[in-house]
Structure 1
Amino acid sequence: MLEQLLIFTRGGLILWTCKELGNALRGSPIDTLIRSFLLEERSGAASYNYDVPGASYTLKWTFHNELGLVFVAVYQKILHLLYVDDLLAMVKREFSVVYDPKRMTYDDFDETFRQLRKEADARAEEMKKSKQVMAKPVSNLGKKQGQQMQKLGFEGGNGKKSGGESGKDCSDDNNVKMGVLGNGHINGEVVNKGRVNLKENGNNTADTDAFDVNKLHKLRSKGGKKGNVVVNKVSKEEPKKKPTKKNRVWDDKPRETKLDFTDPVSENGDADMAVAQVVEGESMMDKDEIVSSDSETEDEDDAETDNKKVDSKKKGWFTSMFQSIAGKANLEKADLEPALKALKDRLMTKNVAEEIAEKLCESVAVSLEGKKLASFTRISSTVQAAMEDALVRILTPRRSIDILRDVHVAKEQHKPYVVVFVGVNGVGKSTNLAKVAYWLQQHDIKVMMAACDTFRSGAVEQLRTHARRLQIPIFEKGYEKDPAIVAKEAIQEATRDGSDVVLVDTAGRMQDNEPLMRALSKLIYVNSPDLVLFVGEALVGNDAVDQLSKFNQKLADLSPSPSPRLIDGILLTKFDTIDDKVGAALSMVYISGAPVMFIGCGQSYTDLKKLNVKSIVKTLIK
Structure 2
Amino acid sequence: MLEELLIFTRGGLILWSSCRALGLASPLKGSPIDALIRSCLLEERAADAGFTQDNYALRWAFSNDLGLVFVAVYQRMLHLLYVDDLLAAVRKEFSQIYDPKRVDYGDAFTDVFRQLHLEAEARAEAMKKTRQQNTLPSTRAPAGGGGKKPGALGGRAGPQGGGGGKKGGAESGKDDSDSSDSGKDHNQLTNGTVKGHQNGDARAAAAANNGKENGDPNDGAFDVNTLRKKIGGKKGGKKTDAVAKKAAPKAEPKKNVKKDRVWDDQPRKVGKLDFTDPADERGEEMVEKAIEHQGDSMMDKDEVLSSDSEDEDDEGEESAGAGQKKKGWFTSMFKSIAGNNVLEKADLQPALKALKDRLMTKNVAEEIAEKLCESVAASLEGKKLGSFTRISSTVQTAMEEALTRILTPRRSIDILRDVQAAKERGKPYVVVFVGVNGVGKSTNLAKVAYWLLQHNLSVMMAACDTFRSGAVEQLRTHARRLQIPIFEKGYEKDPAVVAKEAIQEATRNKSDVVLVDTAGRMQDNEPLMRALSKLINLNKPDLVLFVGEALVGNDAVDQLNKFNQKLADLSTVPTARLIDGILLTKFDTIDDKVGAALSMVYISGSPVMFVGCGQSYTDLKKLNVKSIVKTLLK
Task: Verify same fold: TM over 0.5.
Answer: yes
Deviation track 1:99-122 (CA, whole Å, cap 9, x = no partner) reads: 111111111211000000111011
Distance 1:85 1:352 in 2: 31
1:417-456 equivalences in 2 (<5 Å): 417-456=429-468
**Aligned partner of residue 474 in structure 2, secondary structure:** helix
Residue 567 of structure 2 contacts residue 578 of structure 2 at CA under 8 Å; is this kept in 1? yes
Distance 2:509 2:491 in 1: 24
Residue 143 of structure 2 contacts residue 150 of structure 2 at CA under 8 Å; is this kept in 1? no
Equivalent in the alignment of 1:94: 93
Equivalent in the alignment of 1:220: none
* One-letter code aligned to 1:620: L
Q: CA deviation at 1:360?
A: 0.4
Equivalent in the alignment of 2:316: 302
Residue 429 of structure 2 contacts residue 542 of structure 2 at CA under 8 Å; is this kept in 1? yes
Q: CA deviation at 1:326?
A: 2.2
Equivalent in the alignment of 2:301: 287
Distance 2:113 2:140 in 1: 43
**Aligned partner of residue 432 in structure 2, secondary structure:** strand
**Aligned partner of residue 433 in structure 1, secondary structure:** helix
Greater mean deviation of Cα atoms: 316-325 or 100-109: 316-325
**Aligned partner of residue 139 in structure 1, secondary structure:** coil
* One-letter code aligned to 2:117: R
* One-letter code aligned to 2:558: D
Equivalent in the alignment of 2:66: 67
Equivalent in the alignment of 2:499: 487
Deviation track 1:215-253 (CA, whole Å, cap 9, x = no partner) reads: xxxxxxxxxxxxxxxxxxxxxxxxxxxxxxxxxxxxxxx
Distance 1:520 1:507 in 2: 9
Distance 2:353 2:165 in 1: 64
Residue 151 of structure 2 contacts residue 168 of structure 2 at CA under 8 Å; is this kept in 1? no
Residue 555 of structure 1 contacts residue 566 of structure 1 at CA under 8 Å; is this kept in 2? yes
Distance 1:293 1:49 in 2: 45
Q: Does 1:410 align with 2:422?
A: yes
- Out of 48, 51, 60, the position equivalent to 2:51 is 48
Equivalent in the alignment of 1:105: 104
Residues 451 and 140 (structure 1), Cα distance of their counterparts in 2 relative to 1, 3 Å cut:
same
Distance 1:164 1:48 in 2: 57
* One-letter code aligned to 1:444: N
Equivalent in the alignment of 1:176: none
**Aligned partner of residue 59 in structure 2, secondary structure:** strand
Residue 330 of structure 1 contacts residue 372 of structure 1 at CA under 8 Å; is this kept in 2? yes
- Out of 604, 624, 633, the position equivalent to 1:592 is 604
Distance 1:188 1:266 in 2: 77
Residues 473 and 379 (structure 1), Cα distance of their counterparts in 2 relative to 1, 3 Å cut:
same
Q: CA deviation at 1:295?
A: 3.4
Equivalent in the alignment of 1:117: 117
* One-letter code aligned to 2:308: D
- Out of 32, 41, 48, the position equivalent to 1:29 is 32
Q: CA deviation at 1:303?
A: 2.5
Residue 457 of structure 2 contacts residue 512 of structure 2 at CA under 8 Å; is this kept in 1? yes
Q: CA deviation at 1:538?
A: 0.5
Residue 438 of structure 1 contacts residue 470 of structure 1 at CA under 8 Å; is this kept in 2? yes
Residue 7 of structure 2 contacts residue 70 of structure 2 at CA under 8 Å; is this kept in 1? yes
Distance 1:415 1:189 in 2: 74
Q: CA deviation at 1:140?
A: 2.5
Deviation track 1:171-200 (CA, whole Å, cap 9, x = no partner) reads: xxxxxxxxxxxxxx999995693799xxxx
Equivalent in the alignment of 1:182: none
Distance 1:273 1:305 in 2: 57
* One-letter code aligned to 1:25: L
Q: Does 1:14 align with 2:22?
A: no
**Aligned partner of residue 140 in structure 1, secondary structure:** coil
Distance 2:324 2:349 in 1: 10
Distance 2:287 2:610 in 1: 28
Q: CA deviation at 1:162?
A: 4.6
Equivalent in the alignment of 1:141: 140
Distance 1:304 1:5 in 2: 44
Equivalent in the alignment of 1:540: 552
Q: Does 1:340 align with 2:352?
A: yes
- Out of 401, 409, 415, the position equivalent to 2:413 is 401
Residue 587 of structure 2 contacts residue 612 of structure 2 at CA under 8 Å; is this kept in 1? yes
Q: CA deviation at 1:29?
A: 1.0
1:365-384 equivalences in 2 (<5 Å): 365-384=377-396
Q: CA deviation at 1:142?
A: 5.3
* One-letter code aligned to 1:278: I
Deviation track 1:315-366 (CA, whole Å, cap 9, x = no partner) reads: x312311211221420000111111111111111111111111000000000
Greater mean deviation of Cα atoms: 25-34 or 60-69: 25-34
Q: CA deviation at 1:601?
A: 0.4
**Aligned partner of residue 294 in structure 1, secondary structure:** helix
Residue 144 of structure 2 contacts residue 164 of structure 2 at CA under 8 Å; is this kept in 1? no
**Aligned partner of residue 535 in structure 1, secondary structure:** strand
Distance 1:589 1:506 in 2: 22
- Out of 519, 538, 552, the position equivalent to 1:507 is 519
**Aligned partner of residue 59 in structure 1, secondary structure:** strand
**Aligned partner of residue 56 in structure 2, secondary structure:** strand
Distance 1:621 1:160 in 2: 66
**Aligned partner of residue 617 in structure 1, secondary structure:** helix
Distance 1:272 1:478 in 2: 24
Deviation track 1:244-273 (CA, whole Å, cap 9, x = no partner) reads: xxxxxxxxxxx9665322455279xxx979
Distance 1:608 1:260 in 2: 28
Distance 1:554 1:568 in 2: 15
| TM-score, normalised by the number of residues in structure 2 | 0.79
Residues 257 and 524 (structure 1), Cα distance of their counterparts in 2 relative to 1, 3 Å cut:
farther
Deviation track 1:368-390 (CA, whole Å, cap 9, x = no partner) reads: 00000111211111100000000
Deviation track 1:188-215 (CA, whole Å, cap 9, x = no partner) reads: 995693799xxxxxxxxxxxxxxxxxxx
1:512-531 equivalences in 2 (<5 Å): 512-531=524-543
Residues 116 and 260 (structure 1), Cα distance of their counterparts in 2 relative to 1, 3 Å cut:
same
Equivalent in the alignment of 2:198: 193
- Out of 269, 273, 279, the position equivalent to 1:259 is 273
Which has the larger helix fraction?
A: 2
Distance 1:140 1:575 in 2: 67
Distance 1:87 1:500 in 2: 57
Residue 449 of structure 1 contacts residue 505 of structure 1 at CA under 8 Å; is this kept in 2? yes
Deviation track 1:258-290 (CA, whole Å, cap 9, x = no partner) reads: 5322455279xxx97995362211100000110
Q: CA deviation at 1:609?
A: 0.3
**Aligned partner of residue 138 in structure 2, secondary structure:** helix
Equivalent in the alignment of 2:57: 58
Equivalent in the alignment of 2:210: none
Residue 330 of structure 1 contacts residue 370 of structure 1 at CA under 8 Å; is this kept in 2? yes
Residues 609 and 275 (structure 1), Cα distance of their counterparts in 2 relative to 1, 3 Å cut:
closer
Residues 120 and 160 (structure 1), Cα distance of their counterparts in 2 relative to 1, 3 Å cut:
closer
Deviation track 1:450-485 (CA, whole Å, cap 9, x = no partner) reads: 000000000000000000000000000000000000
Deviation track 1:531-590 (CA, whole Å, cap 9, x = no partner) reads: 000000111111111111111111111111111110000000000011111111001000
Distance 2:619 2:151 in 1: 81
- Out of 550, 553, 569, the position equivalent to 2:562 is 550
Residue 60 of structure 1 contacts residue 74 of structure 1 at CA under 8 Å; is this kept in 2? yes
Distance 1:407 1:350 in 2: 36
Residue 335 of structure 2 contacts residue 341 of structure 2 at CA under 8 Å; is this kept in 1? no
Distance 2:142 2:438 in 1: 61
| TM-score, normalised by the number of residues in structure 1 | 0.81
Equivalent in the alignment of 1:572: 584
- Structure 2 residue runs without a partner (length 5+): 156-162, 170-188, 204-268
* One-letter code aligned to 1:486: V
Residue 7 of structure 1 contacts residue 17 of structure 1 at CA under 8 Å; is this kept in 2? yes
